[in-house]
């Protein structure tokens, strides 16, 4: 993301051939847990819009719908499949405690996790797996999508010349955010597995 010219050139063929469809698909599949260059395509398309090659309004609506529905699809994937996986990792009171904690605080993960690689792909699945209320999820999901599209889409459009520096500052902390996200997942899995270990039988 630091060399915007390089990334713009890399995704230019996709934008030339598929236009808004490429932006929609990449952002949507990210929400289902599949790594895709959704953020890169959004920025590249916004820079093209700044040059008059695309419509900013159509781009923003496309990105917002894709981000919202993609994470919603991830939510239902988690709701119907992720819970079983978590129960295999660790059932019982600890899983219920984690679900209750996510119900209270998970909105922050869903909303602002969109700015962190890894969380952006998995937040919807995690929310569905842990039984987060659909209305609560949808509200935070929409809020996060609006903020994310505004930052990367409108930001790139308005600050075309200076956006590389802005993106560079933002992504300077990217490795730390990814490391914290991975560490959090590992610790959560270990905590659940320990809770699933049956207590020793009394002799």
Instruction: Give the pLDDT confidence of 43-82 residue by residue, as tens digits.
Output: 888 888 888 888 999 999 999 999 999 999 999 998 887 6
**CA-to-CA separations, 156 to 23, 24, 95, 143, in angstroms, rounded:** 15, 17, 41, 19
15-34: b or e for each residue (b if 16 or more CB lie within 10 Å)?
A: beeebbebbbbbbbbbbbbe
Give CA angle at 109 (157, 149), nearest 5°: 15
DSSP at 116: S
DSSP string, 81-103: IIHHHHHHH--SHHHHHHHHHHH
113-144 pLDDT, tens digit per residue, is 888 877 788 888 888 888 888 998 999 999 99
Angle formed by the axes of helices 38-50 and 56-77, to 10°?
A: 170
**66 contacts 27 by C-beta, under 8 angstroms:** yes
Q: Where are the domains of the chain?
A: 4-195
139-179 pLDDT, tens digit per residue, is 999 999 999 999 888 888 887 655 655 555 445 545 554 55
């Amino acid at each position: 993301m630091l060399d915007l010219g390089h990334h713009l050139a890399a995704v230019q063929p996709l934008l030339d051939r598929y236009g808004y469809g490429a932006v929609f698909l990449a952002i949507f599949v990210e929400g289902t847990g599949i790594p895709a260059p959704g953020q890169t395509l959004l920025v590249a398309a916004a820079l093209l819009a700044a040059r008059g090659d695309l419509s900013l309004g159509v781009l923003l609506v496309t990105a917002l719908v894709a981000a919202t529905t993609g994470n919603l699809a991830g939510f239902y994937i988690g709701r119907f499949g992720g819970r079983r996986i978590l129960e295999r990792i660790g059932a019982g009171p600890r899983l219920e405690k984690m679900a209750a904690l996510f119900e209270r605080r998970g909105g922050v993960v869903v909303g602002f996790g969109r700015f962190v690689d890894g969380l952006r792909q998995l937040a919807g699945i995690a929310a569905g797996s842990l039984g987060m209320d659909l209305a609560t999820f949808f509200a935070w999901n929409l809020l996060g999508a609006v903020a994310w599209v505004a930052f990367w889409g409108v930001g790139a459009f308005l600050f075309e010349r200076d956006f590389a520096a802005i993106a560079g500052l933002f992504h300077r902390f990217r490795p730390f955010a990814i490391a914290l996200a991975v560490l959090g997942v590992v610790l959560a899995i270990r905590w659940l597995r320990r809770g699933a270990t049956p207590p020793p039988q009394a002799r």
